[in-house]
């Protein structure tokens, strides 16, 4: 998808940092106004947007 330098300021709700056993690190951010969660892959130079959902549990299965 797209790579950004920082997670949007609108995603200011509670988030989760998730590390897979293969070493990949993911961030799930929360936009409380839109009630949406976004899965980001953490990279050296920013974040890659993977997917969005209204339920954060749906995003864990998309982590590779």
What is the block-wise mean pLDDT of the chain (64 residues), using blocks of 10 residues? 89 94 95 96 95 94 84
Task: Please tell me the predicted confidence (pLDDT) of residue 24.
Answer: 95
Number of domains in the chain: 1
Task: Please tell me the predicted confidence (pLDDT) of residue 63.
Answer: 84
Phi, psi of 50 (to 5 degrees): -100, -50
pTM over 0.85: yes
Task: Please tell me the predicted confidence (pLDDT) of residue 1.
Answer: 64
Range of the domain at 34: 3-60
Task: Please tell me the predicted confidence (pLDDT) of residue 54.
Answer: 96
Give the whole-angstrom CA distance, residue 19 versus residue 34.
Answer: 26
């Amino acid at each position: 998808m797209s790579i950004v330098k920082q997670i949007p300021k609108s995603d200011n709700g509670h988030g989760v940092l998730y590390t897979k056993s293969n070493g990949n690190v993911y961030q799930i951010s929360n936009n409380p106004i839109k009630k949406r969660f976004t899965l980001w892959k953490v990279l050296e130079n920013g974040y890659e947007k993977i997917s969005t959902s209204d339920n954060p549990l749906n995003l864990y299965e998309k982590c590779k």
